[in-house]
Structures are given as C-alpha cells and as structure tokens.
Amino acid sequence: MFKYCFISDPVTLRLSTERGPVEGRVEVYHSGEWGNVCDDNFGVPDATVVCRQLGYLDPKSWFINKGKFWLDGLACRGTESKVQDCTHLQWGSNNCQLSEQVGVDCSE
C-alpha cells in the first residue's frame, strides 16, 4: 500500500507500507526512479515535513527501514512544505547502509 503526494515539480513522495496509510518507509521519486531517505541527521523536523507534505498532521514517531537511497543528510527546520526544500546532500549522494532507511508514522 502506498500513500502518494503528487506535486507540481518532478519530486513525488510516498510511504511504502503494509501497516496502514499513515505509516511506512519514506520513498522519493526523482529522475524516473524511486529511492529512500537515509536516517543520517533525520529527526522530528524532517518527519514533520514528510507528514505534512503527505497531508497528515505531525508525526507520532519515525523509524529505520532498508533499500536504495536518494536523500541523505536531510536537515529540515520543520517549516518547509516539501522535503526537497530542506537542506540535503546532492540527489543520490550518500554514505548509507541498507539498515539506514527511514520511515515515519504520521497522525491523521
């Protein structure tokens, strides 16, 4: 099950999950390919932006999953409307292990 947020620029965000629509691994569609967000520096402000971009309230929690990475070093202030507006390393540049995929549990 996926929760999609289609936006006007070429970046799409979704939660990949089997638990329900508000919780799952954070995936970003960029340059024609889905990838993950690394947990390096990921915290409450980052999870807040993810949840809000998907149309949810603030996050209840965030967690780590596994997979390919598009974003690393995500550093949101929490006020951004989209994750691509947050500071991050260059798209696809990362030093992440498969055990570092991040996920969120958003409030409806």
Six-digit token pair at 30? 């960029």
Cα distance between residue 25 and residue 33, in whole Å: 16
Cα distance between residue 101 and residue 28, in whole Å: 12
Q: Higher-confidence residue: 99 or 10?
A: 99
What is 2-106's CATH number, 3.40.50.920, 3.10.250.10, 3.40.50.300, 3.40.190.10? 3.10.250.10
pTM: 0.59
Cα distance between residue 13 and residue 22, in whole Å: 13
Looking at the predicted structure, is the pLDDT value of residue 38 above 60?
yes
Cα distance between residue 30 and residue 62, in whole Å: 22
